[in-house]
Chain A
């Protein structure tokens, strides 16, 4: 409805105004969180809370990062980074390989395997949470990075995305490579991988955010505060009894928790949108 049909003058300003209003409403919770992370605890128990930044910015963030409540936030950031990278990279690697096998080879049980992987589309981790927990516990992988990462690594989405992409690669390219003397793995590494790099990057953005924002799984898996990830660790910072939560430090942690994925989305916006559209259809 743009182009010629766009209204001029007052109507256009109304549209801009509406959008700005929408953005303000959407951004307001974050702004408030930022204010809260720059004031003292005392400022927050005497309503109404201030609406302009206070003077405790450095003190709050320092406290969050280096002492935290149960464990220093830098440690949780590290755990989250390892988990998010592990999930994203792990998924991409196993999916690249399995999609390559499915598209470029004919082997016994190929269709059976294909459907087995396909079925996992229907099983989000939340559904099979209790038995998966038991499996991981049996392997002794509680409170470990492998326990955090491995159950979330297998997913059909990435495999499907790469399969779709491989199918668009002209058959002749593989034939040319064969005539040139390249074996399957050589073709995969020299030709298919470099051609997939945009898809890989787009998928990485989406999977990194997916991994970073995991909540339920780390909540079950990590009983040791040292293994907490930041997204699940925030909730652990609330005291259990009637004690007052240390809101400035909690809000500083919340902002630190959203910073990496938000940066990824904003800085790699085009890849992010491509990834979103690719994975959701």
Chain B
């Protein structure tokens, strides 16, 4: 019994961690949608949703129920297999990066302080197991998968997400969908280059591709570059602009421009399949915000917090985690704010801006950073 439990323990831990992280992110995403409708309402002098629950707080659940109960229409002449595959690809590619998010600093000893209280609870022979678990939980990282190329992992997995949109546009057998799919593939390939190049500057300063490593590098930097947004301001701006393009958000929401393409690539999608695309878009927004925070704003690192709490203690981790979420919320708000403010680009403007302005600026930033890092390390 005990050995069986010990063998199964890692699987249980990973299952619980994945469940917690995915559920948490999806809840935040659901409320981002509500926040978007509320904030857009305020910007436009409206009230926004306020019927379901007090202040509209139950609106996301009502929306979900509606998506599940609605009739699921499938176009007669669509390519069925691809039509069903596309939303799954979109959401899978959007959700996968969650496994490498650095949610907070590692906790040195999260459970041991409980052990003295154990005699109060009548556990009997099970007490040994708790001690064993406490031993296992030492140096608990607040990341599901600790891989040392987290930056590349996020870029690679999100780049697969373009298939969801492109295939949806192609398989719907609808000219508006096809135009939306084509636009989005062209747009996402173009801006991926600028995005990758803008990340390189940070990677060179930090000397690692590990997301937690990048945060630690910022924490250990001299005060004038504690957040990499200061030495990498140009990289930050390039990253932010290409992030808007990568997530197909205003002002780069050409793939679903209502005025010309009805609803773009998801014109023919209804019910839960549309909900999957919708969720994928908002999870992608969350991912890009996490990358912004980790690469340029110090991630979970709060300057001066180590003087108040001991590094690696439970409160230190909790406060850091809260700071991490706050920074992310700022970026999510920025997305909504810009959506309420800016008009849409024209497609040729979008392309020439990406290739003729953003990419050269990003490459120039890489070259300058290379020279500076080289001179600093001499």
Do chains A and B stick together as partners?
Answer: no
Where the two chains meet, the residues of B that have a C-beta atom closer than 8 Å to any C-beta of A are none
